């Protein structure tokens, strides 16, 4: 499941930028959060299920921002 979440993220960011639903600032902020979640958290000893939960939250947030026009962070 973790790998699915990791592979979905770049597709969501690319789709959001391509559809112009995400601004560049939001895309860079979500990429930063993703890098911290996948590389920073495990290095300090955070369990894998917490990293997976953070990935799922990031992906759901991006999905909502892309497909719901009333959620805009520009």
19-70 tens-digit pLDDT? 777 788 888 888 888 888 888 888 888 888 888 888 888 888 888 887 776 6
1 pLDDT higher than 70? no
Residue identified by tokens 């979500």 is 30
* In the chain, domain spans: 2-67
- Nearest residue to 51 (alpha-carbon basis) of 36, 63, 70, 71: 36
Q: What is the pLDDT of residue 70?
A: 60
Q: Name residues whose C-beta falls within 8 Å of residue 30's C-beta, 6 or more positions apart in sequence.
A: 9, 13, 22, 58, 61, 62
Distance of CA 10 to the CA centre of its chain: 8
CB-based contacts of 18, cutoff 8 Å, min separation 6: none
């Amino acid at each position: 499941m973790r790998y699915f979440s990791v592979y979905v993220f770049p597709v969501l960011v690319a789709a959001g930028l391509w559809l112009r639903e995400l601004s560049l600032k939001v895309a860079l902020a979500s990429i930063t959060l993703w890098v911290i979640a996948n590389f920073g958290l495990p290095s300090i000893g955070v369990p894998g299920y917490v990293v997976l939960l953070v990935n799922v939250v990031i992906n759901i947030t991006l999905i909502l921002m892309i497909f719901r026009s009333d959620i805009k962070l520009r």
